[in-house]
Amino acid sequence: VVEEVYTAQRKRDEAMTGRMKLANEEKDDVMARLRQIEARLDSQGAGTSFMEPSVDELHIDVGNLDNSEELYTLLSRLDSPSSGDGEMSAVVSHVEAMRQRQREVTNEEMAIVMEQRDIALAKCRKLEEQLLKYQRESDADGGMDKTVRAKLAALQQERDIAVAKSQQLDNEVQTLRIYYGLRQSISSSNSFQQSTHHPVSEELNSTRQQLEGTEKENKHLVSQLRINTIEKKQLEQALESVRQDRERLQKLVGILKKKLNTEKPDT
């Protein structure tokens, strides 16, 4: 069972590596396009406005910018000749504030997952120490009953599965860190839009597609965090079951010892 867990984990790591490589390539392509836009706008002498309207005056639903249709409508509006520097700057500043909030939420979720992982690892270490101690005491007694040995083997197997689950949680945390770094890098590469005058429609549409991809990736990360929480609960249940089995085995060994001690005078 442990071998199957490790095999599945290796396959999943290979798939994650492929996805991260593709995300890196997409990020490099977006950054190259954005640099071309910036160079083109700088050559045209685009400036900034000192009068920036508020979001309320623009009648823009900033809280709904994660929606694809709302984002497309906003891009079309900003691409129109009537849009100005103030409107662009106000929207971009609010989008950056929303991204900052998303980064804070992601950090909090990662901290929760890491705390859960540390608790699970601590329980695994404690359980392993107790099992080793119990095994040494049992071996010192001399011949154990076959049933007790079988139960001990099953207990060790459950311990190995619990350790494998803890390792999988640790890998999930590392994967979240990598994806968070990629998202942060892509977000920072879009910050230059605050100083633009008339955005280019084709390049903005490409940026919109990248934002939609980031939105899908965020949903995937949230789903993965939920799965990790479920796995953590299952791991805690498995550890509790192992603890109960260990207590029952200790009681059984105590009974066997008493039985052996009572039979020794007759022999």
Residue with more model confidence, 230 or 210:
230
- Integer Cα distance of 183 and 218 in angstroms: 9
Q: What is the pLDDT of residue 204?
A: 58
Q: How many CB atoms lie within 10 A of CB 165?
A: 21
Q: What is the pLDDT of residue 82?
A: 53
Work out the mean pLDDT of the chain and round it to a whole number.
Answer: 65
Q: What is the mean pLDDT of residues 234-258?
A: 80
Residue with more model confidence, 223 or 32:
223
Is residue 182 over pLDDT 50? yes
- Integer Cα distance of 98 and 105 in angstroms: 11
pTM score, whole prediction: 0.33
Q: What is the torsion angle, in degrees rounded to the nearest 10, for the CA atoms of residue 102, residue 31, residue 176 and residue 112?
A: -20
Q: What is the pLDDT of residue 55?
A: 42
- Integer Cα distance of 166 and 170 in angstroms: 6
Q: What is the pLDDT of residue 87?
A: 56
Q: What is the mean pLDDT of residues 233-242?
A: 79
Is residue 248 over pLDDT 80? yes
